[in-house]
């Protein structure tokens, strides 16, 4: 079967209280990184974070924006992904000139993983856990254990051009009421999932992979949801940022440069504002071209 790309898909095990999500990306991930000449190691780690953020967003019932960030004091200072409940995402990385190949810990140094949810309605939520594990998946499992208190396992892979992953998560007792039975089911499913290879996550169709891993289980697969790279930057958003800055400093830039230019850190698109635009912004009478 051909690989199902640029989609996330939910599945459940009919006879247990365990759910799952699987995600695969190729051209949407390449599009998200196209504006940046990232080193291969950064592309791989950012791809894993993209897959993680999309999997994480499916576990939360919300309308709004989810941001997943890894921040550290090493040569790789930032990995960040924003994704919406509509399965759109954008991603960015920041690093120093001395960056080279290394493990996650070597690259990020002393680091934290931040998960922020900005719902359209309701309060903003942020969870923070230390990034102390050797892999991003293990660090996210720590987050679920500490902050969400749900048994969760993740498997991630990225080769710089394609990324994929899947998640297993224990649900509240419904089908299996015995704790011993639930524990045994969780042990069995995670043991089967551990047999997956990176190449399978990157190359196999969702259904093919799930059959390969869980052929003796009764798995129900739901419809796939398309995933797209979409950058939400705009002239209007840039104008709002300028309006929060010191007017005298902005006007001095206009005097020296003749314009104010703002670059989107995600897609590198540049927004240019002339003197009339700046006057309109600070006079709250937008006249943007």
The values of phi and psi at residue 238, to 5°, are -65, -40
Report how far Cα 111 is from the mean position of its chain's Cα atoms.
17
Query: Which of 100, 99, 104 is closest to 134 using CA atoms?
Result: 104
Average pLDDT over residues 52-79: 86
Which domains does the chain carry?
7-229 (3.55.30.10), 235-282 (3.90.1280.10)
pTM, 2 dp? 0.82
DSSP state of 124: -
Give CA–CA dist 274/123, Å, rounded.
Answer: 37
Query: Which of 186, 172, 146, 154 is closest to 52 using CA atoms?
Result: 154
Give CA–CA dist 204/208, Å, rounded.
Answer: 6
Q: What is the pLDDT of residue 3?
A: 60
Residues 234-278: tens digit of each pLDDT: 777 888 887 777 777 787 888 777 777 777 777 778 788 877 777
Q: What is the pLDDT of residue 286?
A: 45
Can you say whether the dihedral through the CA atoms of 272, 278, 283, 285 is positive or negative? Answer: negative
Mean pLDDT check: name the lowest of 171-175, 191-195, 268-272.
171-175
DSSP state of 49: H
Give CA–CA dist 255/143, Å, rounded.
Answer: 49
Mean pLDDT check: name the lowest of 63-77, 140-154, 156-170.
140-154
């Amino acid at each position: 079967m051909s690989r199902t790309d640029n989609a996330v898909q939910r599945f459940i095990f009919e006879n247990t209280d365990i759910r799952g999500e699987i995600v695969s990306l190729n051209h949407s991930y390449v599009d998200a990184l196209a504006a940046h000449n990232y080193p291969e190691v950064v592309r791989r780690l950012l791809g894993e974070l993209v897959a993680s953020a999309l999997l994480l967003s499916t576990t939360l019932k919300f309308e709004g924006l989810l941001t997943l960030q890894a921040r550290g004091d090493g040569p790789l200072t930032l990995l960040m992904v924003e994704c919406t409940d509509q399965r759109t995402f954008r991603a960015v990385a920041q690093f120093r000139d001395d960056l080279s190949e290394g493990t996650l810990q070597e690259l990020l140094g002393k680091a934290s993983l931040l998960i922020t949810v900005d719902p359209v309605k309701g309060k903003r939520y942020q969870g923070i856990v230390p990034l102390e594990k050797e892999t991003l998946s293990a660090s996210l499992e720590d987050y679920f254990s500490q902050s969400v208190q749900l048994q969760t396992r993740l498997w991630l892979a990225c080769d710089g051009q394609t990324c994929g992953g899947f998640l297993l998560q224990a649900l509240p007792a419904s089908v299996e009421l015995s704790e011993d039975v639930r524990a045994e089911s969780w042990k069995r499913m995670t043991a089967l999932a551990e047999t997956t290879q990176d190449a399978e996550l990157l190359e196999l169709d969702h259904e093919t992979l799930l059959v390969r891993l869980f052929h003796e289980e009764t798995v129900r697969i739901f419809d796939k949801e398309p995933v797209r790279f979409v950058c939400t930057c705009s002239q209007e958003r840039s104008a709002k940022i300028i309006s929060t800055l010191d007017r005298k400093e902005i006007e001095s830039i206009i005097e020296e440069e003749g314009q104010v230019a703002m670059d989107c850190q995600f897609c590198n698109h540049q927004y240019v504002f002339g003197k009339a635009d700046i006057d309109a912004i600070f006079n709250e009478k937008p006249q943007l071209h």
